[in-house]
Amino acid sequence: MLFDIDGTLLRRAGSHHREALVEAIRRSVGVDTTTEGVPVSGMLDRDILTTMMTRAGMKPAAIRKAMPAVVERAQQIYTRTVPCLERKVCPGVRRVLRSLERRGVVIGLVTGNLSRIGWRKMERAGLKPYFRFGAFAELAKDRAGLVRLAVRRARKEKWISRAGHISLIGDHPNDVRAARANGIRAIAVATGLVPIEELRTHSPDVLLPDLRSLALEMLF
């Protein structure tokens, strides 16, 4: 079972993530940027950083050269500054995770967050023990690639069989597309920024207002 983070497991988690990206660019390359006007929902952190630096006038070669340092600095900043996120957990999430754990289901993350940012969010939300592994922003060029990596690892580790059922739960059309691209079940929840009416136009296998409405039978 695979979960997105922002808008799916957590919502309104504060400005600390965006601020870490802005501050990482400033400290690494001395350029002032902003996430204002950047459609961050559904994007990978590396793409967000690229967009921010491009809009600030940096050239592609300079962005590529700076990216490793910016990525490292953003994770350092976020892990030091993020507050407790236990009250930011979306409705129904804890119940679903407990039910999956009781069934022995292997649970992973597929997220646009950088790895240390994603794990720190889970830690500060009190959800980290439920997740065995994850695929994060620095590991692939798009969300479909992240899903591919997650599925490949789960099969390599023999956590699931070739015929095993896999679902991706997310709040954005990009999550639905990524699931479709990998031939797995797409579960969409309207707890993020995308309205349920828009999610419906992408024809997920299951569409829910939030995870309180989820029955585990919908996942398999």
Dist. CA 203–CA 198, nearest whole Å = 10
| Beta strands 206-208; 185-189: pairing state | parallel
Please write the tens of the pLDDT for every residue from 168-205: 999 999 999 999 999 999 999 999 999 999 999 999 99
pTM score of the predicted model: 0.93
Residue 12 has pLDDT above 90, yes or no: no
163 and 56 in one domain?
no
Question: Of 216 and 204, which is predicted with more confidence?
Answer: 204
Task: Identify whether residues 37 and 109 lie together within a single domain.
Answer: no
Q: Are residues 51 and 151 in the same domain?
A: no
The yes-or-no verdict on residue 218 having pLDDT over 90 is no
For residue 207, pLDDT over 80 is answered with: yes
CATH classification at residue 165: 3.40.50.1000
Co-location of 40 and 144 in the same domain: no
139-149 mean pLDDT: 95
Q: Which residue has the tokens 């050269």?
A: 65
Task: Label residue 206 by pLDDT band (50, 70, 90).
Answer: very high
CATH number of the domain encompassing residue 52? 1.10.150
d(CA 75, CA 165): 33
> pLDDT at position 13, please?
72
Domain end point (choices 81, 101, 117): 81
**In 10 A of CB 90, how many CB atoms?**
22
- Residue 215 banded pLDDT, cuts 50, 70, 90: confident
Total domain count for the chain?
2
Domain that holds residue 76: 16-81
Domain end, chosen from 64, 81, 98, is at 81
Separation CA 186–CA 205 (nearest Å): 5
Q: What is the mean pLDDT of the chain?
A: 94
Helix (H) or strand (E) holding 208: strand 206-208
Domain boundary among 81, 97, 122: 81
User: What is the per-residue pLDDT for 161?
Assistant: 77
Q: Give the percent of the chain with pLDDT over 90.
A: 88
Q: Tell me, yes or no, whether 108 and 182 share the same domain.
A: yes
Q: Which amino acid is at 22?
A: V
Q: Which one-letter DSSP state was computed for residue 139?
A: G
Does 30 lie in the same domain as 100? no
Mean predicted confidence (pLDDT) in 39-49 = 90
Mean pLDDT, range 83-87, rounded to an integer = 95
